[in-house]
């Protein structure tokens, strides 16, 4: 762990907020909802100290619209919410994509559908990675699995958003938002000023007007705009895939999992090894772009008999795993819903069943 | 064990030793629940009638009621809102809480984080003014809003105002969870000492998970500060296995 004296004990939600401030975010707009309200609480205190703006908006829709405005003016802006609140923001997501505005949104997921409950879930994978709003667009989606990673990926999210002029979404779950772990601040988190010559900062009579918009009247121009967006998304897919792999060499079974379930699976890998089952783990850190090539390469390994995706939903990321495996090996699924977490034992039981040839669905 | 024998508790000046009702306050994530649960278990060693009251209206995720099975197996009665451990985040106070004021047994009240949580106690203020009530504030110097003496004193003032009660003592629970060691607890003593001088609140005792402090310290730090050795009661499936950490 390195020197412990430099570490501070933080809640996941606090780490997100502090990371944003250290990454130069001075504009935060939010509306409270469990299990992420500590982000707003922390921002309300800290923005005062750093001369930033904290607004408790009148609604989630207002908050994402304020992000649109602040980002259009060149500010590093953020909003955060949990699943039902993120649903409300989807119109804003689409407009932000169309207008190519860099911003960061955090979804500390709870369980659904509807009002559902406050406990952890990953039922928003489809919404995060496949759209949610209308039109052809992508969000860059990061999936942390520890409080340290919540901190680091939130810092990185601002840089990625600025680099590609996209909405960068942190997809965490309630357990990650609420858990406490030691955090080490990185040295290089000081904000690097990004050149935003497209922002509406006032012409001062020196240049033509910048226009932030997502409306294009001429169909040819709108298609050209869409092709430009798609080229940008292709560049992100080439450059920004992040993934952690554990024990793929000689693995019998490869488990895919992100966020909290990936932590549980890491303990299962050791338990399985004790009884002679070699389990590898692929933990996507970017959910979009998905680590398709890494999963496909694992499917080519001779030792690998099958895949198992462990998620806090009814089976969402498993569809991307199946696309990547492309029929080369069986792909099984183990999921829990309603705020329940799988135990290490039940995952191990599923792995044993797969090894016996009975496995899952 | 007879129900009238005084429970052993750490704490200088005899105040904590004589307490019948312990009110445990603190900032978010200060370790209140862990301290409260362990205090209840400690009280149980000297009393047949001990109740742990979960009054945390702030955090529905991790709370002392999660340790219910362990507490009840040891004979500690647990009073918690019916919403504890469910998908409901309505801030609820269990009606049964009044039983601890009317009874003769010992009780530990685990109060929610920060001023919002402490405000719950103010509704029972008239019942919490006797000489047998002790109000403790748990402090972890590794937490962002209690990292130095100035912020600890400010937090104490905030909690005390919200609860409408004076704070009788600090509990030094400086830790980094699974990465804790005895050194960081010792390093925090000057900070707590300074907070004590500025706020006028004495350090009642230190609290640490037993395996993180040397066995030979027994029930006191080398400088004489009483030590509550705690049992780690709550484990979750996503935690690193300590054998591999």
Please answer yes or no on whether B89 and A118 come within 8 Å at the CB atom.
yes
pTM of the model: 0.90
- Structural domain boundaries, residue A258: 243-355
Restricting to B residues 90-119, those with a Cβ less than 8 Å away from any Cβ of A are none
Which residues of chain A neighbour B175 with C-beta distances below 8 Å?
9
Average confidence score pLDDT of chain A: 95
**CA A164 to CA A156: how far, in whole Å?**
12
**Residue A111 near chain B (CB below 8 Å):** yes
**Residue B29 near chain A (CB below 8 Å):** yes
Q: Which two tokens stand for residue B80?
A: 């918690």
Q: Answer yes or no: is A83 within a domain.
A: yes
For chain A, how many residues are written? 361
Specify the pLDDT at position B18. 64
Across residues A322-336, what is the average pLDDT? 98
- Most distant CA atoms of chain B, gap in Å: 50
Taking only the tens place, the pLDDT of each residue in B145-203 is 899 999 999 999 999 999 899 999 999 999 998 889 999 999 999 999 999 999 999 99
Q: Answer yes or no: is A102 within a domain.
A: yes
Above 60 in pLDDT, residue B1? no
| Helix-helix angle A147-164:A219-239, to 10 degrees | 140
Please identify, among A194, A213, A239, the residue that sits at the C-terminal boundary of a domain.
A239
What is the helix (H) or strand (E) element at residue A233, kind and residue range?
Answer: helix A219-239
Please identify, among A239, A270, A298, the residue that sits at the C-terminal boundary of a domain.
A239
Q: Domain check: are A144 and A34 in the same one? A: yes
Q: Domain check: are A231 and A256 in the same one? A: no
Which residues of chain B neighbour A175 with C-beta distances below 8 Å?
61, 236, 238
**Residue B142 near chain A (CB below 8 Å):** yes
**Residue A162 near chain B (CB below 8 Å):** no
- With tokens 């003016």, the residue in question is A73
Return the residue of B nearest to A174 by Cα. Answer: B61
Q: Domain check: are A300 and A324 in the same one? A: yes
Above 70 in pLDDT, residue A200? yes
Q: Domain check: are A265 and A212 in the same one? A: no
Q: Domain check: are A213 and A271 in the same one? A: no
Q: Domain check: are A225 and A347 in the same one? A: no
For chain B, how many residues are written? 245
Cβ pair A295, A327 in contact under 8 A: no
Q: Domain check: are A282 and A222 in the same one? A: no
Q: Domain check: are A247 and A338 in the same one? A: yes
Q: Domain check: are A63 and A109 in the same one? A: yes
Taking only the tens place, the pLDDT of each residue in A271-319 is 999 999 999 999 999 999 999 999 999 999 999 999 999 999 999 999 9
Judge if ipTM > 0.90.
no
Q: Which two tokens stand for residue A302?
A: 């001779």
Q: How far is CA A139 from CA A168, A317, A318, B106, in A?
A: 6, 16, 19, 55
- With tokens 């004590």, the residue in question is B196
Question: Shortest CA distance to A329 belongs to which of A290, A260, A280, A275?
Answer: A280
At A332, which CATH number?
A: 3.40.50.920
Please answer yes or no on whether A111 and B143 come within 8 Å at the CB atom.
no
| Helix-helix angle B182-199:B149-163, to 10 degrees | 60
DSSP-assigned letter for residue A115: T
Mutation target to probe the A interface, by most A beta carbons within 10 A, among B66, B237, B243, B244 is B237
Across residues B88-108, what is the average pLDDT? 79
Question: Shortest CA distance to A321 belongs to which of A301, A349, A297, A292?
Answer: A292
CA A4: distance to chain centroid?
28
Count of CB pairs separated by less than 8 Å, A with B: 84
Domain count, chain A: 2
**CA B49 to CA B76: how far, in whole Å?**
7
Domains of chain B: 12-225 (3.40.50.300)
Q: Domain check: are A151 and A20 in the same one? A: yes
Partner residues linked to A82 by β-bridges: none
């Amino acid at each position: 762990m390195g020197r412990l004296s430099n570490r501070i004990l933080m809640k996941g939600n606090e780490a997100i907020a502090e990371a944003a401030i250290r990454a130069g975010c001075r504009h935060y707009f939010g509306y409270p909802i469990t299990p992420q309200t500590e982000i707003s609480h922390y921002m309300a205190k800290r923005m005062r100290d750093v001369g930033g703006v904290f607004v408790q908006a009148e609604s989630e829709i207002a908050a994402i619209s304020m992000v649109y405005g602040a980002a259009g003016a060149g500010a590093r802006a953020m909003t955060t919410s949990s699943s039902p609140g993120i649903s409300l923001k989807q119109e804003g997501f689409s407009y932000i994509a169309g207008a190519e505005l860099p911003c960061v949104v955090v979804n500390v997921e709870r369980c659904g559908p509807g009002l559902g409950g406050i406990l952890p879930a990953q039922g928003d994978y489809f919404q995060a990675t496949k759209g949610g709003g209308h039109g052809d667009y992508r969000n860059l989606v990061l999936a942390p699995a520890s409080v340290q990673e919540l901190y680091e990926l939130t810092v990185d999210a601002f840089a990625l958003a600025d680099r590609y002029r996209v909405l960068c979404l942190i997809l965490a779950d309630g357990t990650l938002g609420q858990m406490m772990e030691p955090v080490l601040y990185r040295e290089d988190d000081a904000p690097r000023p990004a050149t935003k010559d497209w922002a509406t900062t006032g012409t001062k009579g020196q240049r033509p007007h910048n226009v932030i918009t997502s409306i294009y009247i001429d169909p040819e121009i709108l298609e050209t705009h869409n092709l430009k967006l798609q080229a940008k998304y292709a560049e992100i897919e080439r450059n920004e895939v992040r993934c952690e792999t554990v024990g793929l060499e000689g693995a019998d079974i490869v488990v895919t999992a992100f966020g909290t379930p990936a932590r549980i699976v890491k303990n299962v890998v050791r338990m399985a090894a004790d009884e002679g089952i070699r389990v590898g783990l692929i933990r996507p850190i970017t959910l979009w772009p998905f680590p398709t090539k890494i999963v496909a390469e694992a499917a080519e390994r001779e030792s690998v008999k099958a895949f198992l995706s462990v998620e806090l939903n009814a089976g969402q990321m498993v569809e991307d795993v199946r696309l990547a495996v492309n029929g080369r090996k069986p792909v099984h699924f183990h999921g829990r819903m309603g705020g329940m977490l799988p135990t290490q034992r039940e995952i191990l039981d599923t792995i044993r069943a797969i090894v016996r040839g009975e496995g899952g669905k | 064990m007879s129900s009238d024998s005084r429970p052993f508790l750490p704490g200088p000046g005899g105040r904590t030793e004589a307490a019948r009702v312990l009110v445990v306050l603190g900032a978010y994530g200060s370790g209140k629940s862990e301290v409260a649960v362990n205090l209840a278990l400690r009280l149980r060693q000297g009393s047949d009638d001990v109740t742990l009251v979960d009054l945390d209206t702030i955090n529905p995720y991790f709370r002392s009621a999660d340790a219910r099975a362990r507490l009840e197996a040891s004979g500690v009665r647990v009073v918690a809102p019916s919403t504890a451990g469910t998908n409901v985040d309505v801030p609820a106070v269990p009606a049964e809480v009044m039983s601890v004021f009317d009874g003769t047994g010992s009780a530990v009240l685990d109060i929610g984080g920060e001023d919002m949580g402490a405000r719950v106690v103010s509704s029972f203020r008239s019942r919490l003014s006797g000489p047998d009530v002790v109000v403790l504030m748990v402090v972890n110097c590794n937490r962002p809003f209690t990292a130095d003496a100035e912020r600890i004193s400010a937090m104490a003032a905030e909690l005390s105002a919200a609860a409408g009660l004076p704070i009788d003592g600090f509990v030094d629970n400086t830790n980094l969870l699974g990465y804790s060691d005895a050194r960081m607890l010792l390093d925090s003593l000057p900070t707590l000492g300074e907070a004590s001088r500025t706020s006028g609140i004495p350090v009642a005792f230190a609290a640490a998970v037993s395996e993180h402090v040397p066995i030979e310290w027994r029930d006191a730090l080398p400088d004489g500060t009483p030590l509550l050795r705690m049992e780690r009661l709550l484990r979750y499936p996503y935690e690193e296995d300590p054998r591999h950490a």
